[in-house]
Structure 1
Amino acid sequence: MNARVGFIGGGRMAEALIESIIVSNKIKPCNVNVSDVNADRLAYLKDRYGVNTFMLNTEVVALSDIVVLAVKPQVMSAVLREIKNAVIPQQLIVSIAAGYPIENIEKILGSDKKIIRVMPNILVKVNEGTIAFAPNSRVSEDEVSLFKEFFEAAGEVIEVEERLMDAVTGLSGSGPAFIFLVIEALADGGVRAGLPRETALKLAAQTVKGSAKMVLKGEHPEVLKDSVMSPAGTTAEGVAKLEEKGVRSAFIEAVFAAFKRSVEISGLVKKW
């Protein structure tokens, strides 16, 4: 890919994306530009990945075909106002600021700009992320393909309607924390049963990883669950205990609670 990619903001999510596209050879380090307010952070990124670094956001915009806005939503408006005169209609603007709608970006940069709103999750750090995206009407099919090629190095890319971004946040944005909790709890159960902590943690993590792979092959979780449950067996006893404790309902409520909080935050962002 010959495109030049710029990152405004060099935080953890930006770094995860930078690492994934460089390791996958999608883009050469010399074609990656990064700006940040933290000079030490820029020095680290330059030293580790060989990317070009700048203190001025406008320099990154001027040198990039794709501009990734990787800043916190509370500073997004200020950053947009800073770069608005440098952005041209031919550039692709990609925002990963949580809760910040395309409408707000267009109000500052102009409705003639090509904008894609993205919700990645922390799993992009291991190239197993979910990256939900919603483009505005100015983005062409070829540009969507270019965007997908760029982000697929970091995980599964899924197009959704922008109105569903809060639901995405509740499920895949917050979801890894819920699964980390599951892994920890499974390991604790193993330790309670006599396993060494390290062994229990490896068994728990691998169990979750393998289970996810089976679902992603297209088999329904209910069918897979039933295939493990023998009549009056150990799994049936364990599942009955989970149902008794309301674990299924707890996960549903956790995702919905995260979704509702995302809606609240999005409402606040729209007023900024």
Structure 2
Amino acid sequence: MSKIVFIGGGNMASCLIGGMIANGMASEKILVSEPGAEARQKLSELHGIETTADNRAAAGQATLLVLAVKPQIMAAVVKDLATALGHKPAVVSIAAGIPIAALENWLGSEIALVRAMPNTPALVKSGATGLYANSLLNDQQKQLVDQLFESVGYACWVEREALIDAVIAVSGSGPAYFFLILEAMQKIGRELGLPEQTAEALSLHTALGASRMALESDATAAELRKQVTSPGGTTQSAINSFEQQGLENTFRQAMTSAVNRAEQMSEEFTS
């Protein structure tokens, strides 16, 4: 029986577990190793799964091993697991900034390894995840990885590991960009005289509606924007102001900064 084992039982792990079970995976096929007794109890009660505090014993049962611990402690955790993986499970890391080379250094070069970059909307089953694997991942393992991340939203594979940094800039960090825009729209809506709750509700529903239109339409984002931008109207005035202020270049600089930081983090783990 295939078994998905999580090392670390935090929010993202719990989200992925919930998604898998909601999509029909039997709870007995999932095991979580988590040091906190309270967290283990919460996971057991929430999902009806088995938990343990023994990382090595858990890893020894894995068909797919998901490393869901913070980057700062990943090296120590993974090095301790290396000798428990003689059965060669596929290993997935959801920690930002840790390259395949670092994982291979800690686990050896004969393990199928996957870097996954999910984002926080996965917590509400609306996530976007970028994936990259080394050459050892077989089709059956890839299918299981797809099943895992598609249970909480959209998932796609990139051909080069360096593109995971671009994934981080677009979708990994992306939710914060939208939250920042919402903050500004709500604040300015209040300045324009709207009650706080009204400004919040209007901006949130506008974001939701625009996203649904973009997802469900065959039109590009540029085409959809043009459809709602009447020449000489209020939207055209606002768009002109954004363009005059260099909005696209601001985004370019910000997203490039995210890529640069991701590259620096990778270098820190391989140096």
TM-score bucket (shorter structure): over 0.9
On the 8 A contact 2:60/2:87 being kept in 1, the answer is no
For residue 153 of structure 1, report the CA deviation from its aligned partner.
0.7
- The answer for the alignment partner of 1:133 in structure 2 is 131
Residue in structure 1 matched with residue 252 of structure 2 by the alignment: 252
TM-score, normalising length from structure 2?
Answer: 0.93
> Which consecutive aligned stretches of 4+ in structure 1 deviate over 6 angstroms post-superposition?
none
CA distance in 2, matches of 1:4, 1:206: 40
Shift of 1:64: 2.3
Tell whether the 8 Å contact from 1:81 to 1:109 is kept in structure 2 after alignment.
yes
Q: Distance in 1 between matches of 2:221 and 2:139?
A: 34
Residues 20, 125 of structure 1: 8 Å contact kept? no
Secondary structure, counterpart of 1:186 in structure 2: helix
Contact 1:171 1:255 in 2 (8 A): yes
Q: Deviations over 1:2-48 (max 9, x none)?
A: 631111011122122122212222x2222211112222221221122
Could you say which residue in structure 2 is the equivalent of 1:184?
A: 183
The equivalent of 1:158 in structure 2 is 156
Residue aligned with 2:162, SS: helix
| 2:117 aligned residue | 119
SS of the residue corresponding to residue 194 of structure 2 reads coil
Amino acid at match of 1:40: E
Uncovered stretches (5+) of structure 1, i.e. residues with no partner: none
The CA distance in 1 between the partners of 2:203 and 2:144, in whole Å, is 37
Distance 2:194 2:67 in 1: 46
- Amino-acid identity (%): 35
Residue 266 of structure 2: aligned partner: 266
Tell me, yes or no, if the aligned pair for 1:89 and 1:112 is still in contact at 8 Å.
Answer: no
> 2:204 is matched with which residue?
205
Bigger CA drift: 34-43 or 65-74? 34-43
Q: Distance in 1 between matches of 2:46 and 2:119?
A: 22
Map 1:207-246; keep pairs closer than 5 Å: 207-216=206-215, 217-246=217-246
In structure 2, C-alpha distance between the alignment counterparts of 1:150 and 1:265, rounded to whole Å: 26
Structure 1 residues 95-104 or 186-195, which shifts more? 186-195
Q: Do the aligned residues in 1 keep the contact of 2:16 with 2:148 (CA within 8 Å)?
A: no
Counterpart CA distance in 1 for 2:109 and 2:246 is 48
TM-score, with structure 1 as normaliser: 0.93
Q: Write the letter of the residue equivalent to 2:135.
A: S
Supply the AA of the counterpart residue of 2:138.
Answer: S
- The yes-or-no answer on 1:174 pairing with 2:163 is no
* Amino acid aligned to 2:73: V
Instruction: Give the superposed CA RMSD.
Output: 1.6
Question: Partner letter of residue 28 of structure 1?
Answer: A
8 Å CA contact retained: 1:131, 1:151: yes
